[in-house]
Amino acid sequence: MLLALKSNPEDVGREAARIVANAVRRNPAVRLGLATGNTTLGMYKELIPLHQHDSLDFSRVSTFNLDEYLGLSADHPRSFRHFMQQNFFSQVNIPPRNIHIPNGSIKSDYQQYCASYEQDIRSAGGIDLQILGIGRNGHIGFNEPTSSIGSRTRLKVLSKDTTEDNRKFFAPGEEIPQCAITMGIGTILEAKRILLLATGSSKAAAIAAAIEGPLTASVTASALQLHPDVTFIVDQQAGALLKQQDYYRRVLEMTAILTPDRL
């Protein structure tokens, strides 16, 4: 595990974009697992000019998004499909056929649909680099507390904490989805490399629990301790409760010297 402590959210976005851009340059057909939310928005804002002004070519890249609200159509302004289209896909050259996002409009056969999403990932060759955010309760994707470490893509009921946290994205009085389709923890852990981004003091307890706490279903991000290649990029506020900050800085410095390709 690597941890990069950054001064502010802008630096988190820049560092994440640098890693993603390097992955694309090393493998133009890289398979990216993507996430939505305010934290990842900074990364997308940094990647767009790299494509438009610095020849970063996404034409062979394939993407698989983590999750989608159940009950929201692709063109719904609060859907994750709409978020990705507005904030990233419409401004880079990923072919539409290479973009995969769970379909929030399905009304039945959820298990079959989720199994097909898993099969699409396998058929593509698996995910090379998975981007994650983290919820205030420590969830990744929509894998709420008590989710199985071996879970696969499935329909998941959202916790009250999560629906309350998401209320800010919806208009007053607008119904907030209570369920989502999400990649499972087992699905996420099969990615070759994982990059988790976190900013702000509201994520500090979750980050500390995920990195330095025990492996527990109560904090699903703690399952990342089982993965051999995870990088956390967090700002000072999100990392404020970490007890081993000096050691993480030392590990990052030595990694840059000994295995610079990893960065």
CATH topology of domain 2-262: Rossmann fold (3.40.50)
Bridge partners of 63? 32, 99
pLDDT value at position 106?
A: 95
Structure token digits, residue 178: 């209570």
Residue matched to tokens 């159509």? 73
pLDDT value at position 263?
A: 80
Alpha carbon distance 229, 69 (integer Å)? 29
pLDDT value at position 26?
A: 97
**Tens digit of pLDDT for each residue in 227-263?**
999 999 999 999 999 999 999 999 999 999 998 888 8
Alpha carbon distance 220, 196 (integer Å)? 13
Alpha carbon distance 262, 231 (integer Å)? 10
- Residue 46's contacts (CB-CB under 8 Å, 6 or more residues apart) are 13, 14, 16, 17, 18
Q: Which 3 state secondary structure label does DSSP give 20?
A: helix
pLDDT value at position 143?
A: 97
pLDDT value at position 169?
A: 85
pLDDT value at position 177?
A: 94
Which residues are part of the catalytic machinery?
67, 137, 139, 144
Alpha carbon distance 112, 216 (integer Å)? 29
All residue ranges of the chain with pLDDT < 70 are: none
Q: Is the separation of the CB atoms in 48 and 42 below 8 Å?
A: no
pTM of the model: 0.96
**Tens digit of pLDDT for each residue in 103-135?**
999 999 999 999 999 999 999 999 999 999 999
